């Protein structure tokens, strides 16, 4: 019963994040992916991919669904983060680090200019190929993993 209740909560929160993402996409001036507003820097070496993004103060962004558990590093700034697995926003002040689990999709509001880095294991060295490897196009790609964790 506890697992079913937790799964129902996650499904509701997932829908909230997806609805919020659609709202953001519909706003004038919204951008997707690498842009002058949210510049990405990619670094590769030793089977590791580092992805760095600058989130300008006052901006809000919605991340992607990750297929793997991976570390996150907030190098600079302050932001409020919520996700598709938690209804409780948290304040993160740099420097900070934590792991994101499989299936997590975050909503981030930058209070100050924020530099955020994620680290992924891969043998690829092309950002597009890496994204295909580490990002789920939708929840169906990772549902079996999430269901396993909730049972």
Tell me which of 82 and 148 has the higher pLDDT: 82
Of 100, 148, 104, give the one whose Cα is nearest residue 120. 100
* pLDDT for residue 1: 43
* pLDDT for residue 117: 98
pLDDT tens digits for 28-84? 888 887 778 889 999 999 999 999 999 999 999 999 999 999 999 999 999 999 998
What's the whole-model pTM score? 0.86
Distance CA 8, CA 25 (A): 26
Q: Indicate the Cα dihedral angle 94, 99, 100, 102, nearest 10°.
A: 170
Tell me which of 32 and 131 has the higher pLDDT: 131
Q: Over the chain, what is the mean pLDDT?
A: 89
Spell out the domains of the chain, with CATH numbers in brackets.
Answer: 2-150 (2.60.120.10)
Type and span of the H or E element at 65: strand 65-66
Q: Are 103 and 7 in contact (CB under 8 A)?
A: no
pLDDT tens digits for 101-118? 999 999 999 999 999 999
């Amino acid at each position: 019963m506890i697992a079913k209740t937790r799964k129902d909560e996650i499904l509701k929160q997932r829908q909230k994040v997806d609805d919020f993402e659609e709202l953001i996409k519909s706003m004038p001036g919204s951008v997707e992916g690498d842009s002058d507003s949210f510049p990405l820097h990619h670094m590769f070496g030793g089977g590791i991919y580092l992805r760095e993004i600058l989130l300008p103060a006052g901006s809000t962004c919605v991340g992607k669904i990750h297929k793997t558990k991976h570390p996150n590093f907030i190098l600079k700034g302050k932001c409020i983060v919520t996700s598709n697995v938690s209804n409780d926003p948290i304040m993160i002040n740099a420097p900070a680090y934590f792991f994101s689990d499989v299936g997590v999709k975050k909503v981030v509001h930058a209070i100050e200019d924020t530099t955020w880095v994620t680290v992924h294991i891969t043998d690829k060295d092309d950002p597009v190929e890496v994204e295909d490897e580490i990002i789920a196009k939708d929840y169906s790609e990772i549902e079996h993993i999430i269901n396993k964790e909730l049972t």
